[in-house]
Structure 1
Amino acid sequence: MFKLPVELLLGTRYIRAKRRNGFISFISMSSMIGIALGVMALITVMSIMNGFQHELRERILGMTAHMTVSDRPSYLGDWQATRELALAHPQVMGAAPNIQEQAMLSHRDRVQGVMVRGVLPEMETYVANIEQILTLGSWDRLIAGEFGVIIGRDLAINLGVAVGDQITLLAPQGAVTPVGVVPRVKRVTVTGVFNAGMYEYDSGVVYMHLDDASVLFRYRDGAVSGLQLKVADMFRVFQVRRDFASMSGENFFIRDWTQQHANFFKAIQLEKRMMFIVLALIIMVAAFNIVSTMVMVVTDKQKDIAVLRTLGATPASIQAIFIIQGLIIGIIGATLGLILGVLLSLNIDVIVPFIENLFGFEFFPADVYYISQVPSKLLWSDVWSVSLLAFGLTLIATLYPAWRASRIQPAEALRYE
């Protein structure tokens, strides 16, 4: 018949405290709860940071392409030939020209600065998801010569306009007059409204037809600001850049999404690392509470240890008993925290709105943060990393008390018995 090792039986037995050492049991329970809370908080925060990184990347790349090619910063001459060359690469899924210029929009007494993007509607859908986030109007209503514009939801609210209204666009490329440079003024019609879910885009980006933008901003000979590319694997943009440079044989100015938005993603990655370190300290404090617990257990069990030694137990067996006892506390706490952390991470989209409605406030106001909702993306690699961290800290915390227990001499422990 299979029998459990004596060390495992005794280590498990010592966790169930008797009445006289209930205080030790209370400290053990406190350590267990502390580890559980630390693991739960760390898994939840890591999932939220992963969610922010994923949402930010998806929303930014939903509005912009993965790469931008130009002859020099913000200028490209023969974009048709460059497009054919780019589409020859197997990783390039779409290519579209665009014009990007800053301008001012005014309606009645309201004025706001915007970024105007001149696009070809039939090509832009291959590199961006703007058509999918259009809430009012139609993408096909961007027709050359009609000077229609598609604006963000927050921009429409700030200016107080709706689909069909006319607004005034002021371009800095103006005419030189005796009184100075006069900005070009053009009445444009709102033909659609989009909602990207990011305040920066929803309040500051305007789309219009490429030909209209070329006329308004005085781009000559069919030139554009650049050619936008969408690749099959966004994480292979460096390889595509290198291949495109070798294919073209020219010194194109190429910027990819990792360069254009590097500050956002580096900031999130740094915050994720710092939050991991800070919350790992919670687990560390709870794990090292086990040290004090185990030291008191060793002191309380000196007579038992002495009896075991006289019956033939080796110092290694004594060490194993107390290491097992500490590990059981840590494993139970880590398992409980893992379960709670996973459940909380998977249901954060329900819990956060409930709290916001209950107390009447927003965690992330849309006019302050790029993302106004609390996203969550659970990665099992993070779950296992946190679990291994909790297990490792618990194991380290048991080593000294276990070593101290193995050094107890039976004769000294039983001297006054």
Structure 2
Amino acid sequence: MFRPLSVFIGLRYTGAKRRNHFISFISLTSMIGLALGVLAMIVVLSVMNGFQQEMSTRILGTVPHATISAEQPLENWQAVAERAGRNPQVLAAAPFAELEGMLSFRGAMQPIQLQGVDPQQETKVSIIGEHMVQGQLTDLQPGEFGVIIGEITARRFQLQIGDKLALIVPEVSSVPGGITPRMQRLNVVGVFKVGAELDSSLALIHIADAAHIQRLQPGQVPSVRLKVADLYQAPLVSAAVAADMGAGYRASDWTLTQGSLFSAMKMEKTMIGLLLLLIVAVAAFNIIATLIMVVADKGADIAILRTLGATPRQIMGIFMVQGTVIGLIGTLIGAVLGVLVALNVSQLVGWIERLSGQQVFSSDIYFISNLPSQLLLSDVLLICGAAFSLSFLATLYPSWRAARIQPAEALRYE
């Protein structure tokens, strides 16, 4: 079978078994270093994707994707919800109220974000009903001023079902200061745990009780909460719904309240990826060192090939083939191992926990109790492309040096 001269000799040189086993060992370590770098990047970025997906599911499954409100409280929220549902991106809608205040219990105080919800409609737009550890959403009854608090809040105040809290909210008044505190007693009827910071800053009450605290008329709600199909299209979808409603309606979405968190997570993933790329860069430098030693070792062979008619381009191609083969094999091995580890990282962590008898992720300390992983084909292709490109670029300088060897100089002392 016909093979170009550069490919044939480059593949023969890759093993370097005839004269110098040390160079063969260096080639092997270069492959291993590149494989480890690719493996580490795939696993770490998959875990970062898993964390981001987990936080998106937990946080954005609890906070509103988008809200529609008007200059005045909504008299008929069902009509607004029906109108919003005509948008194909809107999956569900529910009445919604939001208050900022302070919880007080036996002298201890904590800031809280209070959401007024309809227990019957909330399950359509939120996952919080699936994460109740005590009580149920339906325990919120109008007029009883029941409250469902987060697990961290309950643990901080040592609260149990049936305990009573004091809610302090600011209220505009005619006094010289303009704002006076208003107090409302709440009864703890449930505890939720979504496994995020919201467990310490969020609480739920019935929409009718929230309207009473905000001094709205019976049946009035401040806004309508929307659940959209694509979270990252929420700003466009909510703006389109508000525009369809007509003048006087305005939209808000999760990017205004939680956008900085996910921007920080995206930046963290990017920076970690760049740092891990240094591992691949180090392996690429090993390829440079390997090829330089091969060029020095094969000086006489290069001179003989030149005297037999090989062109500088063919000589350069020989060592480019050798370095490319090292990079290709190392990248493929790292990609295969990285994909296998990323797909089974949760099981590996569980095995380590059983073997050591220690829990790596304790639910009492961390928001999650396992190591999530989400493998993306785009990440694998990007990592493999970057690793192969670096390994290919690493072949250029040694190959150029090999092409510049003069036969007379190389054979002078042979």
Is the TM-score greater than 0.5? yes
In structure 1, the residue matched to 2:93 is 95
Q: Amino acid of the residue matched to residue 338 of structure 1? A: A
Structure 2 runs not aligned, ≥5 long? none
Residue 266 of structure 2 corresponds to which residue in structure 1? 269
C-alpha distance after superposition, 1:186-228 (max 9, x if no partner): 141x332222111x22222221211122223433464434221
Cα shift readout 1:334-364 (whole Å, capped 9, x = no counterpart): 1221122212212222334555673857568
Q: CA deviation at 1:150?
A: 2.0
**Which residue pairs with 1:240 in the alignment?**
237
Which of 230-239 and 41-50 deviates more?
230-239
Aligned to 1:326: 323
Shift of residue 27 of structure 1? 2.6
Matches within 5 A, 1:11-410: 11-18=10-17, 21-71=20-70, 76-78=73-75, 80=77, 81-108=79-106, 110-163=108-161, 165-173=162-170, 181=180, 183-188=182-187, 190-198=188-196, 200-220=197-217, 222-355=219-352, 358=356, 360=358, 362=360, 373-410=370-407
Does the 8 A contact of 1:184 with 1:216 survive in 2?
Answer: no
Gap regions ≥5 residues in structure 1: none
After superposition, the C-alpha distances for 1:149-193 in whole angstroms (9 at most, x for unaligned) are: 222222222222333x22222232579899x956424141x3322
Question: Per-residue CA shift, 1:362-406, capped at 9, x if unaligned?
Answer: 568866x76564321110111111111111111111112112212
Q: How many Å apart are 1:273 and its aligned residue?
A: 1.4
Tell whether the 8 Å contact from 1:103 to 1:169 is kept in structure 2 after alignment. no
Query: Do 1:153 and 1:193's aligned partners in 2 also have CA atoms closer than 8 Å?
Result: yes
**Normalising by the residue count of structure 2, what TM-score does the alignment of the two structures yield?**
0.88
**TM-score (ref. length: structure 1):** 0.88
Shift of 1:241: 3.0
What is the CA deviation profile of residues 209-255 of structure 1, one whole-angstrom value per residue up to 9, with x for unaligned ones?
11122223433464434221112333332432342233122143311
The 3 A distance-change label for structure 1 pair 217 and 186 is farther
On the 8 A contact 1:59/1:196 being kept in 2, the answer is yes
Q: 2 CA distance for matches of 1:20 and 1:359?
A: 50
Distance 1:246 1:170, change over 3 A: closer
Change (3 A) 1:29 1:147: same
Q: Is the 8 A contact 1:173 1:218 kept in 2?
A: no
* Deviation larger for 311-320 or 283-292: 311-320
Give, in angstroms, the shift of residue 333 of structure 1: 1.4
AA partner of residue 70 (structure 2)? D
Change (3 A) 1:187 1:233: closer
Question: 2:397 is aligned with what amino acid?
Answer: Y
* 8 Å CA contact retained: 1:106, 1:159: no
**1:19 shift after superposition:** 7.3
